[in-house]
Amino acid sequence: MEPMSRSKRGAAVLALATAIAAPAEGLRQWAYRDPVGILTVCYGATGQGVEAGRKYSLDECYDRLDDDMTLAIAIVEGCQPGLPEPVLAAFADAVFNMGPTIACDRGKSTAARMLATRQYDAACNQLPRWSYAKVAGVSVQLPGLVKRREKERQLCLSRN
């Protein structure tokens, strides 16, 4: 059997990761502040181009999700090359949601160290630990993050 082409692999990983991100984030076409106060729109898009008071079209939201998740996948592939697809997709969603530390910073993330040594099950089982966010300066566990990390963990472990 021929190995999956790079573009088919990318499409498969993108589909797996966005299948977690889209329902977890929900679609909001008007910009809003997330639980930690970050201006957000569409399916969890933040940063450049998010404007308060502007309505975004469905096409803009779909494009932002694809672009942002494609970037998250590239970040994970850059710091942890060669991951199995479900592991890559799970950690790409985590990076999309909270930034690259979880997958890439071996000094701050046990999961990143485990990915680097190909201890995939152990790395997957670290995902639930990343369900906290600072709200009003206090680290609290958010129910939405608990559910999302569990979905990522299940996807991640599905490579078996």
Whichever domain contains 153, its CATH number is 1.10.530.40
Residue 106, domain member (yes or no): yes
CB distance 14 to 21 below 8 Å: no
Residue 85, domain extent:
6-157
pLDDT digits 0-9 by tens, 121-146: 999 999 999 999 888 889 999 999 99
CB distance 120 to 159 below 8 Å: yes
pTM score, whole prediction: 0.91
DSSP state of 96: H
Q: Which residues are catalytic?
A: 25, 34
CB distance 106 to 47 below 8 Å: no
pLDDT digits 0-9 by tens, 32-68: 988 778 899 999 999 888 998 899 999 999 999 999 9
Rounded distance, CA 86 to CA 151, Å? 11
CA-nearest of 104, 157, 148, 155 to 129 is: 148
How many domains are contained in the chain? Answer: 1
Residue 86, domain member (yes or no): yes
